Structure 1
Amino acid sequence: MTDHSSLHLLIGGEQLSGGGRETQDVIDPATAEVLGTLPHASADDLDTALANADKGFKEWRRESADKRAAALTKAASLIRERAKDIGMLLTREQGKPIKEAIGEVIYCAMLFEFYAGECKRTYGRELVRPTGQSARVIYVPVGPVAGFAAWNFPAINVARKVGGAIAAGCSVIVKPSEETPAAGLALVQALLDGGVPADVCQVVFGVPDEVSRHLLASPVIRKVTFTGSTAVGKHLTKLAAEDMKVTTMELGGHAPVMVFKDSDVDTVLDTMVGAAFRNAGQVCVSPTRFLVEQDLFENFRDGFIERAKAITVGNGMDQDTRMGPMANERGPEGLAKKIADAKDKGAKIDTGGERIGNQGFFFEPTVLSEVPTNAEIMNEEPFGPVALINPMASADAIIEEANRLPYGLAAYAWTNDPKLRSRLAADVEAGMLAINGANVSAPDAPFGGVKWSGHGQEDGAEGVMHCMVPKTVHES
C-alpha cells in the first residue's frame, strides 16, 4: 500500500473489501479531509478469521524455532525497505512528523529482529529428583491471540500485538484502530510476505465493541492483548474473565517527572521538553506531571515556557514540523475542557491553551503551572500537548505525589544522588522508570505498567513469554 485508496481486511491472506460491508471514512488530522474508506468485518468475516486462527495455530505451534525466526527476520528486512512508504501512510492518518513516523516503523523492524532471536530462547528448567525420576518445566504457546491496538502508534502497537505471539508459536487476529488502519495493514503484509502463514496473522476492522465481543466470545481465542484506555481495558478484562482467557493490558498513564534540587535545569529541559510534546503528547508514557523541587521551580518553569514557544507546529509531512496535529477531533475538544477546568481551579496558563486555526486538529504546545491536585487534568491523563509544572517542598513530597494516582506506567527522575536513585528504583510505583533520561522503551526490555496502567508486558523476552504458559512434566 502506498496510499489509503485500497484499505481492506486481511483474512486468510485475502484482501477483502466491498461486498456490502459497512464502511467508515479515514480522516487526515492535518486537513480533516477523507483519505480513504475502510471496510468493517461482518460476523461471517470474524467467524472465518477465527476458524483460520484455530487452524493456523495448530500448524504454527509445531513449526521449528528456526522457521519462525526466519519469517520474523525476513519481515523485519522488508519493513526496513518499506519504512519510508509505511511512514508516509502513518503520518497521513495519524499526524505525527514524518521523521517520527519512519522511526516508529524502524522500531518495529528492530522488535521483530529481537523476537526472531527469542524464538530460540524459550528455555525451560530441569528440577532435581532422585535417580529414575524426572521433573521439568516447559513453555508452550498459549493459543490463538486477539490483539487490539490504539491509534497513537499505529505501527508499534500492532507490532507489539503480533510479534511476541508469532515468535511464541501462536496465531493472532489483530484489530488496528479504525482511525489509523493503513500502517498496521502494511506491517502485517510484510509479515506475510516474509513467510508467516496467512492463517497465522490476520487483520480485521469494525465497531470496536462489536468486534471484541465477537472474538472474545469464541473459545478459539485463548489470550487477549490490548493497548488503550484504562476504562476499555477493564471492560475487555471482564469479558476475557468469562472464559478465563489470559490478558495483557497496556493502559493509560500520567507520568510524573521528578526533578530534584541537584539537577542541571538546562539538561533536564533539553531532554524532557521534546519528550513532553512528542506525538503532540499523545503517548501513554508521555511525561506530564513535572514535580520540581522549590529551589529550581522558577528557572525550570521559565525555561520550559521558552522552549515550548519555540516548537514548530504544522503538517507532519513538512520536514520542519516538530509537532503535528492531534489525531482526531476528540483531542482538541477534550484537552480544551481540561485546561478550562484547571484554570477555573487556579492553575496558571503560562503559554498555549488554545486550538490552532480551523483546519485540522492542531493545538498549541501548552504549559500550566501551580496546578491544584483537584483539577481534572492532574488526575486524568491529558493525552495532548500540555505540561503541568508544580513546585514541591521536598524529595519526600515529590515521591508521594508521584505515587498519588492509581496509574503506574512510566515515571522519570533527575538526580545525581546515588542513594536517592536507589530509593526511587525501589519506591516509585511504575512499570518503567527512566533516571536522567527520557527513554523507557527498547526492543529487548519489557514494556508495561502496574495498578490501573495494566498488567503483563510487551517487548523484551517477556513479550514472548506472556504468549506462553508453563507446563510441568513429571516422569517416573
Structure 2
Amino acid sequence: MYQHFGQFIHGAWRQGRGAEPVIVTDPGNGKILGEIAAASSADTREALASAETALINWRATSGWTRADLLQAVAQQMVSITADAARMISMESGKPLAQAKREWELSTDQFIWHAEEARRIYGRIVESRVPGGRCEISHEPVGVVAAFTAWNFPVVLVARKLAPALAAGCTVVLRPSSEVPGSAMLIFECLRKAGLPAGVANLVVGPTAETYQPLITSPIVKKVSLTGSTQLGQQMIRDSAATIKRLSMELGGNAPVIIFDDADVEKALDLSVATKFANCGQVCVTCDRFYVHESRYHEFVKGFAERAARLKVGYGLDEATQMGPLINPRRLKAIEAIVADARDKGARIVTGGERIELNGGYFYAPTVIADVPDDALAIAEENFGPIAAMTSFSDSEDLWRRVNNSDFALSAYAFARDPARIRETVARLESGMVGINSYALAAAEVPFGGIKASGMGREGGSEGIHDYMNVKLAQIVL
C-alpha cells in the first residue's frame, strides 16, 4: 500500500536508499501492512539541500500566494477524506470515526493558517531619535526540521507543516516510522496542490539516517517536535551546538477535578469518551481523577459501568469504540502500570487485562479506584486505557496534589460555582485548562504546555510566530 509513495524530496516521490526497509504493522491484527524503502543519510541531506534552495523563493513569495496554495492543499485533503481515514485507522488502530475526525481537524489547520499567512502584521513604535521611527517586522526563521509521533499521524504533521509554510519557511519532516503512510497522504496533497519543489520534504527511516543529519545540520534553523519528554531533552542537547529555535509538545499527565457541585452525569459522559479515545494514547487525555469525597463512589461506579460497555475491536469495524494499543511494548507498559497500582493497594474496578482479539494489541478499558499518589497510574503518564481514581476533601491539599507533577500540558475540572471556576483556572499549573469540557485542540487556539510538557505553541494566532524571527529597524530620515 506504500508502493506509490516513499520519500518525498524536491517535489517528487522516490525510493529511499537505506539499508533496511521500514516495516509497518497493523496494530489491530499484528499483520504487516507494507514495507517502505527507508531513507539513507544521503537522502536526508538531499532533502535538506532542497529545502535550503527552495527557501530563497518561498520566503519571498507573498503571504497571499502562500495562502492560496494552502487553501488548495485543504481542498485536496477534503477530496480524499474517506481513503485517508482508512489509512489512519489501519496504521494507528483508532476507530474509523476518530480517524475521519483527525483528518478533518488536519484540514482545518491548513485552512486556518492559510488565513494567518495574510495576517503577518508588524508595528511602528515612536522613536526617540528626531526624524526617526522604529519598525518591528516578522520574517520566516528559515529551514525547519519537524518530527512527529505516531498517536495522531496526520494532525501532528498538519500542526507543523501548515504554520511553517504559512510563515514562509521550508520544511523537512520526519514522521513516525509506525504510521508513515498517513503523513504521505498529506504530502501527496501538497504535490497535487502545486507546492513548489523543495518547500516541503519528507524522509522516513531509522534515527541514524534521518534524525542525526537534521538535528546536527547548521542549515536547520528551527526544530519542532511532538514526542516524549525524554526525546525532547535529548533533542535540546543534540541541537545545542547549532543553537536552533525549538518548539516542543511533550508528555502530559492531565488531572481532572470533580468538585462537589459538578454535573456528574455530564462529567461521566465526557470523561469516558475522552479517556478511551485512541485507546488512551493521547497526550492531553484525562489520566488522574481527583473526585470530591461526597461524589466519589457515584463517579467511580458510573465511570466503570460506562467503560465496561465500550465496544473494543478492529478500527475499521464501524461498531468499534476503542481500538488497540500501537504495539506490544505499550501492552507490556500498561500491564506494569496496572500491576503497580494493585501492589500499592488500589482496586481494579473494571478491566485490568488483555483482550485476545485477532492477534491485535488490545487491552480492556480499565478503571482503578483508591489509587495512591505514588502509584505509576497517577505519578506518571500512562498513555493507555487506564483511568486512575482518587478522592479529596481539603481544597488546599488538592492543589498541592494536582500540581505535584513535572507534566503540565492540560488540566480539567468540572464545577458550577463561578468563583470556584475562576480559582481553579488560576490555581492549576498547566498550559491549557478545560472547565466542564475537554475540547482544547482546535486550529484557532494555541496548543502547548509548560514545565516538562514542552515549550512553544501550535495553532491560533500564536502558532505562526513560532516560525518567525522578530526584526527591529530604526529608520532615521
> Do the aligned partners of residues 209 and 376 (structure 1) sit closer, same or farther apart at CA in structure 2, a change above 3 Å counting?
farther
* RMSD value, Cα: 1.2
1:178-193 equivalent positions in 2, closer than 5 A: 178-193=177-192
Name which of 75, 78, 81 aligns with 1:80.
78
- CA drift of 1:39 comes to 2.1
> Is 1:465 matched with 2:472?
no
Report the counterpart of residue 266 of structure 2 in structure 1: 267
8 Å contact from structure 1 (residues 292, 398) kept in 2: no
One-letter identity of the residue aligned with 2:362: F
| Aligned counterparts, 1:399-418, within 5 A | 399-418=399-418
1:181-209 per-position Cα deviation (integer Å, ceiling 9, x unaligned)? 01111012212221221201010011135
1: distance between equivalents of 2:436 and 2:208? 40
SS at match of 2:255: strand
Q: Is the 8 A contact 1:366 1:386 kept in 2?
A: yes
Corresponding residue for 2:303?
Answer: 304
1:38 paired residue among 22, 36, 39: 36
**In 2, are the aligned partners of 1:192 and 1:201 still within 8 Å (CA)?**
no
SS at match of 1:222: strand
The answer on 1:424 being equivalent to 2:424 is yes
Alpha-carbon distance in structure 1 between the residues aligned to 2:416 and 2:17: 62
Deviation at 1:441, TM superposition (A): 1.0
Contact 1:9 1:204 in 2 (8 A): yes
Q: Give me the whole-angstrom Cα distance separating, in 2, the residues matched to 1:76 and 1:20.
A: 32
User: What runs of 5+ residues in structure 2 fail to find an aligned partner?
Assistant: none
Q: Distance in 1 between matches of 2:197 and 2:185?
A: 14
| 1:62-73 equivalences in 2 (<5 Å) | 62-73=60-71
Is the Cα–Cα contact under 8 Å of residues 109 and 162 in structure 2 kept in the other structure?
A: yes
**In 2, Cα distance between equivalents of 1:142 and 1:251:** 22
The CA distance in 2 between the partners of 1:348 and 1:4, in whole Å, is 45
The separation in 2 between residues aligned to 1:170 and 1:314, in whole angstroms, is 41
Question: Is 1:293–1:395's contact at 8 Å kept on the other side of the alignment?
Answer: no
- Structure 2 partner of 1:362: 362
Q: Which has the larger displacement, 334-343 or 354-363?
A: 354-363
Structure 2 CA distance, aligned partners of 1:313 and 1:27?
19
Letter in 1 for 2:309: A
Asked if 1:456 corresponds to 2:456, the answer is yes
Whole-angstrom distance in 2 between the partners of 1:87 and 1:399: 40
CA distance in 2, matches of 1:462, 1:23: 39
TM-score by length of 1: 0.98
TM-score by length of 2: 0.97
Q: Is the 8 A contact 1:409 1:450 kept in 2?
A: yes
> Could you tell me whether the CA contact under 8 Å between 1:350 and 1:367 is conserved in 2?
yes
Q: Any idea what SS the aligned residue of 2:298 has?
A: helix
Equivalent position SS for 1:242: helix
Aligned counterpart, 2:382: 382
Q: Residue 232 of structure 1 aligns with which residue? A: 231
Question: SS of the residue aligned with 1:145?
Answer: strand
Amino acid at match of 1:163: A
Name the structure 2 match of 1:150. 149
2: CA distance, partners of 1:9 / 1:291: 46
**Which stretches in structure 1 are left out of the alignment for 5+ residues?**
none
8 Å CA contact 1:65, 1:120 repeated in 2? yes
Is the partner of 2:224 in helix, strand or coil? strand
Higher mean C-alpha displacement, 209-218 vs 178-187: 209-218
Shift of 1:395: 2.7
* Cα distance, 1:222–1:398 mapped onto 2, change above 3 Å: same
In structure 1, distance between residues paired with 2:455 and 2:18 = 39
- Structure-2 residue corresponding to 1:95: 93
Per the alignment, in what secondary structure is the counterpart of residue 25 of structure 1? strand
Deviations 1:257-287 (A, max 9, x none): 0110000211110111100000000000010
Match of 1:442 in 2: 442
The alpha carbon displacement at 1:438 in A equals: 1.3
1:287 aligned residue: 286
Offset, 1:211: 2.0
Aligned AA (1:304) = F
Residue equivalent to 2:352: 353
